[in-house]
Amino acid sequence: MRIAFFDCFAGIAGDMTVAALLDAGLDFDYLQAELRKLRVEGYELRRSKTRRHHIAATRFDVILHRQVPYHTHATSADFPQHTHADHPHDHGPDDHHAQGTGRGHHDPDDGGPSPRERDHSVPLAAHVHRRLSDVVELIQRARFSQGAEKNAISVFKRLAEAEASVHGTDPEEVHFHEVGAVDAIVDVVGTCLGIEAMGIEEVHASAIRTGIGTIRAAHGVMPVPAPGTLELLRGVPIDRTSLPYELVTPTGAAIITTLAKSFACPPVFVPDAIGYGAGSRDTQEIANLLRVEIGRTTGSAGEERALVVETTIDDMTPEVYGYVLERLFEAGAKDVYLSPVIMKKNRPGIVVHVLVHPERRERVVSVLFGETSTLGVRISDVVRRVLPRRSETVETPWGPVRVKCAEWDGRTRTTPEYDDCAAIARARNIPVLEVYEFVRKAAEEFR
């Protein structure tokens, strides 16, 4: 399996994500050709080489051919108020990456106008806004590959949902400012196109590093991370540093929290491509870079960090356990099982064991406290070793059946999907074991 691991040691922004993929080998001409399918005018793309703390990296800029008045600049602090959903790290001296002085972590070195705000030709005559449905339609009309389209739309839905949550409104009521939406759309779609073009099947990420303090925006002083950005990071592990910068943009947060499967150690893999995407400001405290490592998982079992959340219950009616298990899986549990035990005072009880990724911990704990009679839970760190696996489809006389394939020591182990076998058994009135064994043999012969 080909995976990508984004190391967000200096935060993440949309343009840095595209830049990292370009630096790792994404074809720039291909990206430009695909993005032209959006039929959005008034911009051009620029790729350039730079250095951050003596590390060679790539910059990616969306240059808007319009004059953007100061009061139209989206900021992270503005994001919850207006949801301009743009790339604030490139919007000049008062953008939302600013510290108290109004300068930002990803701002240009001189604090002057960035490529995204310079007047190139056509003045902006009016404020035009797009709703979420307009952005979705724009992406769908481009007829990208199914995977890229689905991922891009999911990112924008997450942006809109974060805005709606902050304001207590409906996601469809969110407006994306036209100018801001152009570079946001380019960065979001460009990232999704790049991931697909490079054959990346899974995305993993480190904990997301954020700054602290406050930023000055058009609507006053706001905390770091700004409300909209923090809403996007809900349920994700963050590493809050003492750096007085906004390290994470709304677009970057939406991209990584939508696409990443985990925010811990990735499966064991062999990197064959490494890329560094640079933010526009060369900060003294930290290399303003996003690193991506791309490679294939090995044939051996990979390790990943996980948590085991447990609770022991002796006073709950048995009928409830089935419902609790359903809710735990909905909350993101990787596995749930029950064990009978004899508790103090010789009472029979049940231990609920939940295996979960760290970023889903609070959701699982919330289900246990809300849906059971427990008064406490135990949480333990574990290392989970998993074999590289994939899903295939085997054709049978009764129709297609999914098969799970796991690799170990050069051999492939196949396991029919029980739900598919059970559905056929019910429909055909034949024993499920007969279906299961037929599919297993068919899968082995197919290989």
- Report the pLDDT value the prediction gives residue 391, as an integer from 0 to 100: 83
**In 238-289, which ranges are continuous DSSP H helix?**
250-259
Tell whether omega for the bond before 225 is within 30 degrees of 0, i.e. cis: yes
CATH topology of domain 302-386: Alpha-Beta Plaits (3.30.70)
CA distance 171 to 165: 8
Q: Quick one: tokens of 376?
A: 């406490």
Where, residue-wise, is CATH 3.30.70.1380 in the chain? 302-386
The contacts of residue 101 (CB under 8 Å, 6+ apart) are none
- Report the pLDDT value the prediction gives residue 124, as an integer from 0 to 100: 35
The letter for the amino acid at 61 is D
- Report the pLDDT value the prediction gives residue 288, as an integer from 0 to 100: 95
- Report the pLDDT value the prediction gives residue 209, as an integer from 0 to 100: 95
Chain CA centroid to CA 421, Å: 33
**b/e 181-192 (16+ beta carbons within 10 angstroms → b):** bbbbbbbbbbbb
Cβ pair 23, 57 in contact under 8 A:
yes
- Using alpha carbons, list the distances in angstroms from residue 299 to 86, 198, 203, 284: 41, 21, 18, 41
CA distance 344 to 349: 10
Q: Quick one: tokens of 129?
A: 């806004």
The contacts of residue 389 (CB under 8 Å, 6+ apart) are 404, 405, 406, 407
Q: From the first residue on, what is the mean pLDDT of each consecutive set of 10 residues in the chain (447 residues)?
A: 94 97 97 94 93 96 67 34 37 34 41 36 45 92 94 95 87 67 92 96 94 79 90 92 90 96 83 95 91 84 81 95 96 95 93 91 94 96 82 89 86 90 94 94 80
- Report the pLDDT value the prediction gives residue 66, as an integer from 0 to 100: 58
- Report the pLDDT value the prediction gives residue 416, as an integer from 0 to 100: 94
DSSP of 162-187: HHHHHHTS-GGG-EEEHHHHHHHHHH
Give residue for tokens 């949480």.
379
Q: What is the CA radius of gyration of the chain?
A: 25
Cβ pair 30, 197 in contact under 8 A:
yes
Say if strands 289-297 and 269-278 run parallel, antiparallel, or are unpaired. antiparallel
